[in-house]
Amino acid sequence: MQIKSYKQIYLLLAFTVATIVAYFWFIKSPYFDDLQTWASAHFWLFISLLVLIKIAGIVWPPINGGLLTLGAIPVVGWLPAYLADLTGSTIGSSIAFFIARKWGLDFMRKIFDASTIARVQRVKIRPNREFEAVFVSRLLGGTLLELLSYGAGLIGIRFKNYLPASILSHIVIGVPLYYFANGIISGRNVLINFVLVFILMMLFFFARKRYVDLGVF
């Protein structure tokens, strides 16, 4: 995915790095215990905030909601954090899908550059392959998630195929990722879990190079 300008790329990278640094500082600070106490007392409010941030991150890519839901693992546990990510991703992706369906290129030009949009427009999917195409693309897409959401709406993929394929792909990659990340954050078998996460990420990275770069939706 290419964001429309280098300024936006730099802002995205800066926000990501700042979020990671702030996170590791925060979990070592006395404020972390206060957050855990507050989240325990206001569990559903905390989960709702995570979901809203994740939605915003899908609709407007410079916001990285995925880092914050991963960061919530030591606060609420890996399963609630993952479910918040799944819920936010499903809602946010659906919103992006219908934004592209309704406003199309006018909105996408505000986020993505011309070459990326042109690449999306060249994609052609047979009706009987929509579920498979969406599943593979979102499973292997990584940071292309936002583009895939908008692109699916732009090229006319049917929502009845898009939604279940999106949810299934999220479960396949998200559950092991959050489970292993929980092991790393909690300090249990850190090296083993880190290696497993690294291997998982590399497998999807090289698979993405083979499938996503071919323009498969």
- 85-142 pLDDT, tens digit each: 999 999 999 999 999 888 877 777 777 777 777 777 777 777 777 888 787 777 766 5
Residue with the bigger pLDDT between 165 and 154: it is 165
Which amino acid is it at 32?
Answer: F
Q: What is the model's pLDDT at position 141?
A: 60
| Lookup result for tokens 């206001």 | 42
Number of domains in the chain: 1
- Whether residue 20 lies inside any domain: the answer is yes
Q: How confident is the model at residue 1 (pLDDT cuts 50, 70, 90)?
A: very low
CB contact at 8 A, 216 and 141: no
Residue 156 phi/psi, 5-degree rounding, is 90, 20
- Summarised one tens digit per residue, pLDDT across range 152-163 is 888 888 899 899
Q: What is the model's pLDDT at position 123?
A: 73
- Whether residue 171 lies inside any domain: the answer is yes
Q: How confident is the model at residue 13 (pLDDT cuts 50, 70, 90)?
A: low
Please give the residue range of the domain that contains residue 105: 6-214
- Whether residue 185 lies inside any domain: the answer is yes
Q: What percent of the chain has pLDDT over 90?
A: 21
- Whether residue 87 lies inside any domain: the answer is yes
- Whether residue 1 lies inside any domain: the answer is no
- Whether residue 153 lies inside any domain: the answer is yes
- Whether residue 96 lies inside any domain: the answer is yes
Q: How confident is the model at residue 15 (pLDDT cuts 50, 70, 90)?
A: low
Cα 139–206–61 angle (5° rounding)?
50
Separation between Cα atoms, residue 6 and residue 4, nearest integer Å? 7
Tell me the range of 31-40, 77-86, 107-116, 174-183 where mean pLDDT is highest. 77-86
7-11, 16-20, 112-116: least confidently modelled range: 7-11
